Amino acid sequence: MGEYANIVVSCSVGTILFLGGWQSPIGVLSGGAWGLLWFFAKMYLLIFIVIWIRWTFPRTQFYGLLNLSWKILIPVSLFTLMLTGALLRLPLLLHQLF
């Protein structure tokens, strides 16, 4: 029950923050009971998507996530960090040379 309560709360916050809350997406039929209807329609759409994704994909194992992190994500992030540092330093080096 706690997981589904978390889904409902997070989808309602997501509806307010990212989907316009109670406002109509088509510009008409907004305000009053229509606003409440739009809010619940958007919230239930998000709940449907979250539950659909949870039931469709299998659970990932913790060791698989560790392998992904150590073998792929950390080297890519270090390469990106070094590339950003080099690109930030490049104009200064070119200015000193020329």
Q: From CA 22, how far away is CA 19, in angstroms rounded?
A: 9
Per-residue confidence (pLDDT) for residue 27, from 0 to 100: 73
Token readout for 65 is 């996530």
Measured from the Cβ of residue 32, the count of other Cβ atoms closer than 10 Å reads: 9
Residue pair 34/24 in contact (Cβ under 8 Å)? The answer is yes
Predicted local distance difference test score (pLDDT) of residue 22: 83
pLDDT score at 79: 97
Q: Give residue 30's pLDDT.
A: 67
How far from each other are the two terminal CA atoms of the chain, in whole angstroms? Answer: 67
Is residue 13 within 8 Å of residue 44, measured between CB atoms? no
Residue 30 contacts residue 38 (beta carbons within 8 Å): yes
Give pLDDT, residue 15: 92
Average pLDDT by consecutive 10-residue portion of the chain (98 residues)?
92 92 78 85 95 85 86 96 94 81
